[in-house]
Structure 1
Amino acid sequence: MKILSGAEVDAAVDDIALIDRLERLFRDGCEMPPRHHHTLAAPDGPASADATLLLMPAWTRQSANGGGGRIGIKLVTVFPDNGRKSLPSIYGQYLLLDGTTGAPLALLDGTTLTTRRTACASGLASRYLSRPDAQSLLMIGTGALAPHLVRVHAKIRPIQRVAIWGRDAGKAERLVRELATSLPVGLGRPIAVEAVADRRSAVADADVVSCATLSKAPLVEGDWLREGQHLDLVGAYRPDMRESDDTAVRRACLYVDTRAGALKEAGDIAQPLASGAIREGDIVADLFELARGQRTGRASGDQASITLFKSVGAALEDLAAAELAFDAG
């Protein structure tokens, strides 16, 4: 059995190759039971400090001749207060099994796997939803996902300017310095990166706005938006979290990674549904429907629509990334 560290997973996974594999697996489908979601109450402190345990299984079907097929399960813990201890909020491990025999194939670092597949799911959505000429990106959030999201968006669209906003200005500046060194690598063009303090102006200026936070209050307001923008909402993975307000979701054409996950778990979708601000029918498509051509994303030449993609994560995405890392490693 292979054991792949975070560094080995990172080295084995190419962004564009993973985006292509995600698209293929969303098109072909796999078995994906609902994730197991358990709250781990904090011994001391408010409910906001409660941790989360996630178990996410998925498997592909064997062919008629008995070949192929893999089984995977991810175990993830989310401890929101870890940032105060200079630790990641998310830890995870991924077990990949042979779909024919059940034999273990690999144990992969699930934390790195999660960041890579999450960023690439946003990249896949951007292929369908952002304007092909998008040149400016605002990254809201400075956590572990932020540099990956910036890099992937810059590979999908000809991004020339990146603005970083974070609650902690020092973290935003550190991310700017990191990206100034790492971002141009492999892109073949210089990209200007700066930290910003005025979130409202930064949202209005950006062609693509990506959010990856644990916020419980909206960070992007619909009144700040302009025609042609694409919103990529990656954080707020629980019903009590939120990165956009009702006006934003009402103004936008809504897309999700999976309908089942977004309707149940994503505060940016679940809360406005509960209040009546939107209806289930307002969700145009999920990644299954886009990949299969059953629904369309942004039409060619559409410079006016505001698109919003809400990601909550899916076990299918982990399986695609684990298979890619295992095959490449």
Structure 2
Amino acid sequence: MRTLDAAETAAALPWGPLVEAMLRMFERERRGEARAAPRTAVPLAAGGTMLLMPAADADFAALKTVTVHAGNAARGLPVVQGEVVLFDAATGTRLLALDGNVLTARRTAALSLAGAMRAGRKGAERVLLIGAGVQARAHAEALAELWDVRRLAIHARTAAHAEDLARHMRSLGVEAQAIADPDAVAREADLVVAATNALDPVVPPDLRPDACVIAIGAYRADMAEVPAALVRRGSVFVDTLEGARREAGDLIRAEVDWRAVQDFAHAVPAAAGAPVLVKTVGHALWDLAAARLAHDEEK
């Protein structure tokens, strides 16, 4: 079994092919050719948690193992650590091990773009990015490469983090700036990306009538990045209905009409000129899609 470090994992998951891998996995899911078991959580010592996320299709199986130890920050160790192992489905042979943190960051950004495409959105000129962490950076890089975004406004709770990310994006040729007030630019943005750990909404409520919002940060029922009124106003698309019903706090808090919510695998694109919300909570199938691509890239 070959093991890829962080840099090798990133190199094996180029943005364009990774988005295409997500779209192919949507089709496998729609046809019933791929499946995933519910996430398993196991308590560990020192208040830690181990998460196990398995998935399989006709050719491959993948297992992501993640450990979370909040106390590691004081020890100078990563709070979140993980890896993804790819298996041959027919024999169980271990084929590839990848850095779980890098894979998760890149597949989440690719998933957002693939989901937006299924919702009928395939580009943006002016982007408002709320957040400046690992996921915000991955989304900014993917958007710059695949959607040719050239104007990017970044707002974060810590201004220095927003400026660091803006500086990085300027080095990639993007006209990026850190901003103190997201409301000041919200009406100009055709795409808003929220990648935070906020408990309460951070996306400005007053957006363009045709704006697309990608929200990835609220992963518990008690969290929300998008105001309830904005959720109710737009067409809502999610990566999985099962996961969204359980974990998408933005939608739960808004008491969304679940009959109108579409998952990516079965989505009918929204009409042009109407607001769109793309909400993801994560799923083991997306890890499998990324690991399959990395295996192909390594051949």
2:188: which partner in 1?
Answer: 205
Q: Are the counterparts in 2 of residues 131 and 228 from structure 1 also a CA contact under 8 Å?
A: no
SS for the counterpart of 1:72 is strand
1:59-70 matches, within 5 Å, as 59-61=56-58, 69-70=59-60
How many residues matched?
294
Matched residue, 1:298: 270
Q: Establish whether residue 28 from structure 1 lines up as the match of residue 28 from structure 2.
A: yes
CA RMSD of aligned residues (A): 2.2
2:212 corresponds to: 230
Whole-Å separation in 2 of the counterparts to 1:221 and 1:52: 34
Residue-by-residue CA offset, 1:23-65 (whole Å, 9 max, x unaligned): 111101201111124566975xxxxxxx65321100012xxxx
Q: Deviations over 1:208-238 (max 9, x none)?
A: 111111111110143x222110000011111
Q: CA deviation at 1:84?
A: 7.8
Partner Cα distance (2:144, 2:198) in 1: 25
Cα offset for 1:307? 0.2
- How far, CA to CA, are the matches of 1:28 and 1:115 in structure 2? 22
Which of 258, 266, 284 matches 2:248? 266
8 A contact 1:126–1:153 mirrored in 2:
no
Whether the 8 Å CA contact 1:127–1:156 is kept in 2: the answer is: no
CA separation of 1:228/1:142 partners in 2, compared to 1, >3 Å: closer, same or farther? same
Aligned counterpart in structure 2 of residue 310 of structure 1, from 249, 254, 279: 279
Q: How does 1:91-106 map to 2 (within 5 A)?
A: 91-106=81-96
Question: CA 1:6–1:163 in structure 2 vs 1: closer, same or farther (change >3 Å)?
Answer: same
2:168 & 2:43 partners in 1: Cα distance? 34
Gaps spanning 5+ residues in structure 2: where? none
Tell me: CA distance 1:109–1:133, structure 2 relative to 1, closer, same or farther (3 Å): closer
2:277 partner amino acid: L
**Paired-residue identity, %:** 37
**Aligned residue number for residue 320 of structure 1:** 289
Q: 1:247 aligns with which of 215, 222, 229?
A: 229
Q: Which residue of 2 aligns with 1:71?
A: 61
Do 1:227 and 1:306's aligned partners in 2 also have CA atoms closer than 8 Å?
yes
SS of 2:180's equivalent in the other structure is coil
The answer to whether the 8 A contact 1:161-1:193 is kept is: yes
Q: 1:85: Cα distance to partner?
A: 7.6
Give the corresponding residue for 1:54: 51
Where 1:55 maps in the other structure, the secondary structure is strand
What displacement does 1:104 show?
1.1
1:153 to 1:164, Cα distance in 2 relative to 1, 3 A: same
Distance, in Å, in 1 between the alignment partners of 2:82 and 2:25 is: 22
Residues 88 and 255 of structure 1: CA distance in aligned 2, closer, same or farther (over 3 Å): farther
In structure 2, the CA distance between the partners of 1:167 and 1:117, relative to structure 1 (3 Å rule), is same
Structure 1 unaligned residues grouped into runs of 5+? 44-50, 62-68, 185-190, 291-295
Aligned counterparts of 1:203 and 1:78: Cα–Cα separation in 2: 34
